Amino acid sequence: MNPPLNQVSIEITQPGGPNVLQACQRPTPSPDANQVLIEVAAAGVNRPDVFQRLGFYPPPPGVTDIPGLEVSGTIVAVGSAVTFWKLGDEVCALLSGGGYSQYAVADESLCLSIPHGLSLIDAAALPETCFTVWHNLFERAELKAGEWLLVHGGASGIGTTAIQMATALGVKVIATAGSDEKCTVCESLGAVKAINYNDQDFVSESLTVTADGVDVILDMVGGDYAQKNVNVCAPKARIVNIAFLRGSKVEIDLMPVMLKQLVITGSTLRSQPLENKTRIAKGVQDHVWPLIENQQFKPIIDHTFALSEASQAHTLMESNTHIGKILLITESI
Protein backbone atom coordinates (compact mmCIF):
# COMPACT_ATOMS: atom_id res chain seq x y z
CA MET A 1 0.00 0.00 0.00
CA ASN A 2 1.44 3.34 -1.06
CA PRO A 3 1.58 6.15 1.50
CA PRO A 4 -1.11 8.83 1.08
CA LEU A 5 -0.25 12.11 -0.61
CA ASN A 6 -1.14 14.02 2.56
CA GLN A 7 -0.81 13.19 6.24
CA VAL A 8 -1.81 14.49 9.65
CA SER A 9 0.96 16.41 11.42
CA ILE A 10 1.19 18.63 14.46
CA GLU A 11 2.51 22.09 13.66
CA ILE A 12 3.58 25.05 15.79
CA THR A 13 1.21 27.81 14.67
CA GLN A 14 3.25 30.49 16.44
CA PRO A 15 5.70 30.63 19.37
CA GLY A 16 3.84 30.17 22.62
CA GLY A 17 2.26 27.78 25.08
CA PRO A 18 1.14 24.21 24.46
CA ASN A 19 -2.08 25.37 22.79
CA VAL A 20 -0.13 26.56 19.72
CA LEU A 21 0.36 22.89 18.78
CA GLN A 22 -2.40 22.20 16.26
CA ALA A 23 -3.22 19.35 13.88
CA CYS A 24 -2.80 20.12 10.19
CA GLN A 25 -2.59 18.44 6.80
CA ARG A 26 0.90 18.33 5.31
CA PRO A 27 2.28 16.56 2.21
CA THR A 28 3.68 13.15 3.05
CA PRO A 29 7.47 13.48 2.69
CA SER A 30 9.43 11.44 0.16
CA PRO A 31 12.75 9.89 1.13
CA ASP A 32 15.96 11.11 -0.49
CA ALA A 33 18.43 8.58 -1.86
CA ASN A 34 19.85 7.62 1.56
CA GLN A 35 16.63 7.95 3.52
CA VAL A 36 13.68 5.78 4.44
CA LEU A 37 10.04 6.74 4.99
CA ILE A 38 8.62 5.46 8.28
CA GLU A 39 4.94 4.99 9.04
CA VAL A 40 5.08 6.30 12.59
CA ALA A 41 3.77 4.16 15.42
CA ALA A 42 4.92 6.51 18.17
CA ALA A 43 7.01 9.65 18.62
CA GLY A 44 8.98 10.72 21.67
CA VAL A 45 8.30 14.09 23.30
CA ASN A 46 11.51 15.81 24.37
CA ARG A 47 12.53 19.06 26.02
CA PRO A 48 13.99 20.40 22.73
CA ASP A 49 10.46 20.12 21.26
CA VAL A 50 9.26 22.45 24.02
CA PHE A 51 12.08 24.90 23.31
CA GLN A 52 11.21 24.82 19.60
CA ARG A 53 7.56 25.50 20.42
CA LEU A 54 8.60 28.49 22.52
CA GLY A 55 10.66 29.87 19.63
CA PHE A 56 14.08 29.23 21.23
CA TYR A 57 15.28 26.22 19.18
CA PRO A 58 14.57 26.61 15.46
CA PRO A 59 15.13 23.61 13.17
CA PRO A 60 18.38 23.54 11.20
CA PRO A 61 18.27 24.88 7.62
CA GLY A 62 16.34 22.61 5.29
CA VAL A 63 14.62 20.68 8.10
CA THR A 64 10.83 20.62 8.45
CA ASP A 65 9.25 22.90 11.05
CA ILE A 66 7.17 19.97 12.35
CA PRO A 67 8.61 19.04 15.78
CA GLY A 68 9.64 15.56 16.85
CA LEU A 69 13.18 14.17 17.07
CA GLU A 70 12.56 10.43 17.45
CA VAL A 71 10.03 7.86 16.25
CA SER A 72 9.38 4.18 15.95
CA GLY A 73 7.45 2.54 13.17
CA THR A 74 7.49 0.55 9.94
CA ILE A 75 9.47 1.37 6.80
CA VAL A 76 7.08 1.91 3.88
CA ALA A 77 9.44 3.42 1.29
CA VAL A 78 13.20 3.48 0.73
CA GLY A 79 15.50 5.79 -1.18
CA SER A 80 17.39 4.63 -4.26
CA ALA A 81 20.72 4.25 -2.40
CA VAL A 82 19.39 2.49 0.72
CA THR A 83 21.03 -0.91 1.10
CA PHE A 84 20.45 -2.11 4.66
CA TRP A 85 16.71 -1.62 5.27
CA LYS A 86 13.75 -2.96 3.30
CA LEU A 87 10.00 -2.41 3.18
CA GLY A 88 8.25 -3.76 6.26
CA ASP A 89 11.22 -3.48 8.62
CA GLU A 90 10.33 -2.17 12.08
CA VAL A 91 12.77 0.45 13.35
CA CYS A 92 13.26 3.32 15.72
CA ALA A 93 15.06 6.37 14.39
CA LEU A 94 16.67 9.67 15.30
CA LEU A 95 15.30 12.59 13.29
CA SER A 96 16.20 16.22 12.77
CA GLY A 97 12.47 16.99 12.91
CA GLY A 98 9.08 15.83 11.67
CA GLY A 99 8.26 13.14 14.23
CA TYR A 100 4.86 14.55 15.21
CA SER A 101 3.33 13.09 12.05
CA GLN A 102 1.85 9.96 10.55
CA TYR A 103 4.95 9.57 8.36
CA ALA A 104 8.53 10.74 8.82
CA VAL A 105 11.77 10.44 6.85
CA ALA A 106 15.01 9.34 8.49
CA ASP A 107 18.53 8.79 7.27
CA GLU A 108 19.24 5.10 6.78
CA SER A 109 22.23 5.23 9.17
CA LEU A 110 20.14 6.71 12.00
CA CYS A 111 17.60 3.88 12.02
CA LEU A 112 18.05 1.08 14.55
CA SER A 113 16.35 -2.26 14.83
CA ILE A 114 13.86 -2.73 17.67
CA PRO A 115 15.67 -4.41 20.58
CA HIS A 116 14.43 -7.94 21.23
CA GLY A 117 11.78 -8.00 23.92
CA LEU A 118 10.78 -4.35 23.52
CA SER A 119 7.49 -3.23 21.96
CA LEU A 120 7.42 -1.08 18.85
CA ILE A 121 5.68 1.72 20.79
CA ASP A 122 8.15 1.76 23.68
CA ALA A 123 11.10 1.83 21.25
CA ALA A 124 10.13 5.39 20.32
CA ALA A 125 11.51 6.43 23.72
CA LEU A 126 15.04 5.30 22.88
CA PRO A 127 16.82 7.25 20.11
CA GLU A 128 17.04 10.83 21.44
CA THR A 129 17.90 9.85 25.01
CA CYS A 130 20.22 6.95 24.17
CA PHE A 131 22.14 8.94 21.55
CA THR A 132 22.44 11.89 23.95
CA VAL A 133 23.58 9.85 26.95
CA TRP A 134 25.97 7.63 25.03
CA HIS A 135 27.63 10.54 23.23
CA ASN A 136 27.95 12.86 26.22
CA LEU A 137 28.89 10.40 28.93
CA PHE A 138 30.83 7.70 27.14
CA GLU A 139 32.29 9.57 24.17
CA ARG A 140 32.80 13.16 25.37
CA ALA A 141 33.34 12.52 29.10
CA GLU A 142 34.95 9.09 28.61
CA LEU A 143 33.08 7.75 31.64
CA LYS A 144 34.58 4.50 32.90
CA ALA A 145 33.44 1.63 35.10
CA GLY A 146 34.16 2.31 38.76
CA GLU A 147 33.85 6.10 38.44
CA TRP A 148 31.25 8.26 40.18
CA LEU A 149 28.61 9.93 37.97
CA LEU A 150 26.27 12.69 39.15
CA VAL A 151 23.10 12.94 37.08
CA HIS A 152 20.92 16.01 37.50
CA GLY A 153 17.24 15.60 36.63
CA GLY A 154 17.47 11.92 37.44
CA ALA A 155 13.76 11.25 36.92
CA SER A 156 13.64 12.76 33.42
CA GLY A 157 13.86 10.76 30.24
CA ILE A 158 17.57 11.59 29.97
CA GLY A 159 18.07 10.96 33.67
CA THR A 160 16.39 7.55 33.85
CA THR A 161 18.36 6.52 30.76
CA ALA A 162 21.68 7.74 32.17
CA ILE A 163 21.17 6.03 35.53
CA GLN A 164 20.37 2.66 33.98
CA MET A 165 22.96 2.77 31.22
CA ALA A 166 25.78 3.87 33.50
CA THR A 167 24.88 1.41 36.26
CA ALA A 168 24.76 -1.47 33.79
CA LEU A 169 28.24 -0.51 32.58
CA GLY A 170 29.74 -0.55 36.07
CA VAL A 171 29.49 3.14 37.00
CA LYS A 172 28.45 4.34 40.48
CA VAL A 173 25.60 6.85 40.11
CA ILE A 174 24.29 9.67 42.27
CA ALA A 175 21.13 11.41 41.04
CA THR A 176 19.25 14.57 41.96
CA ALA A 177 15.48 14.91 41.69
CA GLY A 178 12.74 17.20 42.96
CA SER A 179 10.67 14.87 45.15
CA ASP A 180 11.04 11.88 47.43
CA GLU A 181 8.96 9.83 44.97
CA LYS A 182 11.33 10.65 42.13
CA CYS A 183 14.33 9.87 44.34
CA THR A 184 12.86 6.45 45.13
CA VAL A 185 12.50 5.76 41.41
CA CYS A 186 16.10 6.83 40.74
CA GLU A 187 17.39 4.44 43.39
CA SER A 188 15.19 1.63 42.08
CA LEU A 189 16.86 2.12 38.68
CA GLY A 190 20.32 1.69 40.16
CA ALA A 191 21.42 4.99 41.67
CA VAL A 192 23.55 4.47 44.79
CA LYS A 193 22.10 7.68 46.22
CA ALA A 194 19.29 9.99 45.09
CA ILE A 195 19.17 13.51 46.53
CA ASN A 196 16.01 15.61 46.80
CA TYR A 197 17.39 19.00 45.80
CA ASN A 198 14.47 20.77 47.47
CA ASP A 199 15.44 19.40 50.89
CA GLN A 200 19.16 18.61 50.66
CA ASP A 201 22.38 20.15 49.35
CA PHE A 202 23.64 17.89 46.59
CA VAL A 203 27.23 19.06 47.06
CA SER A 204 27.54 18.04 50.72
CA GLU A 205 25.48 14.87 50.22
CA SER A 206 27.59 13.77 47.25
CA LEU A 207 30.85 14.47 49.07
CA THR A 208 29.61 12.38 51.99
CA VAL A 209 28.96 9.44 49.64
CA THR A 210 32.11 9.74 47.54
CA ALA A 211 34.63 11.40 49.88
CA ASP A 212 36.66 12.92 47.00
CA GLY A 213 33.78 14.07 44.81
CA VAL A 214 32.30 12.87 41.54
CA ASP A 215 34.20 12.11 38.34
CA VAL A 216 31.56 13.10 35.78
CA ILE A 217 28.48 15.33 35.96
CA LEU A 218 25.63 15.29 33.43
CA ASP A 219 23.91 18.66 33.83
CA MET A 220 20.78 19.96 32.16
CA VAL A 221 20.10 22.64 34.79
CA GLY A 222 22.80 25.30 34.53
CA GLY A 223 22.23 28.54 36.45
CA ASP A 224 23.24 28.29 40.11
CA TYR A 225 24.24 24.64 39.58
CA ALA A 226 27.35 25.75 37.66
CA GLN A 227 29.37 26.69 40.75
CA LYS A 228 27.99 23.78 42.76
CA ASN A 229 29.06 21.39 40.00
CA VAL A 230 32.62 22.71 40.15
CA ASN A 231 32.63 22.41 43.94
CA VAL A 232 31.48 18.76 43.97
CA CYS A 233 34.01 17.56 41.38
CA ALA A 234 36.88 15.23 42.15
CA PRO A 235 40.29 16.02 40.63
CA LYS A 236 40.28 15.68 36.82
CA ALA A 237 36.48 15.43 36.71
CA ARG A 238 34.44 16.24 33.62
CA ILE A 239 31.26 18.37 33.58
CA VAL A 240 29.01 17.88 30.55
CA ASN A 241 26.26 20.44 29.89
CA ILE A 242 23.34 19.42 27.69
CA ALA A 243 20.74 22.08 28.63
CA PHE A 244 20.33 25.16 30.83
CA LEU A 245 16.89 25.09 32.40
CA ARG A 246 17.97 27.70 34.97
CA GLY A 247 19.91 29.82 32.50
CA SER A 248 23.20 29.72 30.61
CA LYS A 249 24.70 33.02 31.80
CA VAL A 250 26.36 32.61 35.19
CA GLU A 251 29.22 33.96 37.26
CA ILE A 252 31.49 31.34 38.79
CA ASP A 253 34.88 31.08 40.47
CA LEU A 254 37.11 29.29 37.97
CA MET A 255 40.04 28.80 40.34
CA PRO A 256 38.88 25.27 41.33
CA VAL A 257 38.66 24.39 37.61
CA MET A 258 42.37 25.11 37.30
CA LEU A 259 43.44 23.61 40.61
CA LYS A 260 41.45 20.40 40.12
CA GLN A 261 42.20 20.22 36.37
CA LEU A 262 38.53 19.99 35.47
CA VAL A 263 37.03 19.77 31.99
CA ILE A 264 33.81 21.65 31.25
CA THR A 265 32.18 20.68 27.97
CA GLY A 266 28.80 20.23 26.34
CA SER A 267 27.02 19.46 23.11
CA THR A 268 23.76 19.48 21.22
CA LEU A 269 22.63 16.49 19.18
CA ARG A 270 20.35 17.95 16.53
CA SER A 271 23.00 20.07 14.79
CA GLN A 272 25.70 17.38 14.74
CA PRO A 273 26.93 16.40 11.26
CA LEU A 274 25.39 13.20 9.90
CA GLU A 275 28.72 11.37 10.12
CA ASN A 276 28.87 12.08 13.87
CA LYS A 277 25.31 10.88 14.42
CA THR A 278 26.09 7.76 12.40
CA ARG A 279 29.06 7.01 14.67
CA ILE A 280 26.90 7.55 17.76
CA ALA A 281 24.23 5.26 16.32
CA LYS A 282 26.77 2.48 15.93
CA GLY A 283 27.92 2.97 19.51
CA VAL A 284 24.34 2.74 20.75
CA GLN A 285 23.64 -0.35 18.65
CA ASP A 286 26.83 -2.09 19.81
CA HIS A 287 26.85 -1.14 23.49
CA VAL A 288 23.35 -0.11 24.59
CA TRP A 289 21.06 -2.48 22.69
CA PRO A 290 22.62 -5.55 24.39
CA LEU A 291 21.83 -3.99 27.78
CA ILE A 292 18.17 -3.70 26.80
CA GLU A 293 18.05 -7.22 25.41
CA ASN A 294 19.69 -8.54 28.61
CA GLN A 295 17.03 -6.68 30.66
CA GLN A 296 19.62 -4.41 32.29
CA PHE A 297 17.94 -1.29 30.94
CA LYS A 298 14.46 -0.37 29.76
CA PRO A 299 12.82 2.90 28.76
CA ILE A 300 10.67 4.31 31.53
CA ILE A 301 7.36 5.52 30.04
CA ASP A 302 5.37 7.95 32.15
CA HIS A 303 2.43 8.59 29.84
CA THR A 304 1.24 8.11 26.27
CA PHE A 305 -1.02 10.51 24.39
CA ALA A 306 -2.68 10.40 21.00
CA LEU A 307 -0.89 12.50 18.38
CA SER A 308 -3.81 14.93 18.47
CA GLU A 309 -3.13 15.45 22.19
CA ALA A 310 0.35 16.88 21.68
CA SER A 311 -0.57 20.01 23.62
CA GLN A 312 -1.51 17.91 26.66
CA ALA A 313 1.80 16.06 26.35
CA HIS A 314 3.72 19.35 26.39
CA THR A 315 1.69 20.56 29.37
CA LEU A 316 2.71 17.45 31.28
CA MET A 317 6.37 17.87 30.33
CA GLU A 318 6.40 21.48 31.49
CA SER A 319 4.79 20.52 34.80
CA ASN A 320 7.94 18.54 35.64
CA THR A 321 5.80 15.97 37.42
CA HIS A 322 6.48 13.15 34.96
CA ILE A 323 8.99 10.36 35.50
CA GLY A 324 10.71 9.08 32.37
CA LYS A 325 9.44 9.56 28.84
CA ILE A 326 6.26 10.91 27.26
CA LEU A 327 5.10 9.44 23.93
CA LEU A 328 2.64 10.39 21.19
CA ILE A 329 0.79 7.48 19.56
CA THR A 330 -0.48 7.70 15.98
CA GLU A 331 -2.62 4.55 16.02
CA SER A 332 -5.78 6.43 16.95
CA ILE A 333 -5.78 8.54 13.76
Summarised one tens digit per residue, pLDDT across range 243-289 is 999 999 999 999 999 999 999 999 999 989 999 999 999 999 999 99
In this prediction the pTM is: 0.96
Residue 44 backbone class (left: φ over 0; alpha: ψ -120 to 50; beta: rest): beta
Q: Domain tally for the chain? A: 2
Residue 312 lies in a domain: yes
Mean pLDDT (the chain, rounded)? 97
Residue 1: what pLDDT?
Answer: 66
> Do 146 and 227 reside in the same domain of the chain?
yes
> Do 171 and 119 reside in the same domain of the chain?
no
pLDDT of 296 higher than 70: yes
Confidence of residue 2 (pLDDT cuts 50, 70, 90): confident
Residue 331: what pLDDT?
Answer: 73
pLDDT in tens, 155-208: 999 999 999 999 999 999 999 999 999 999 999 999 999 999 999 999 999 999
Residue 234 lies in a domain: yes
> Do 66 and 185 reside in the same domain of the chain?
no
Domain that holds residue 321: 6-126+299-329
Confidence of residue 332 (pLDDT cuts 50, 70, 90): low
Stretch 117-136: mean pLDDT: 98
The domain boundary, picked from 266, 290, 308, lies at: 266
> Do 178 and 205 reside in the same domain of the chain?
yes
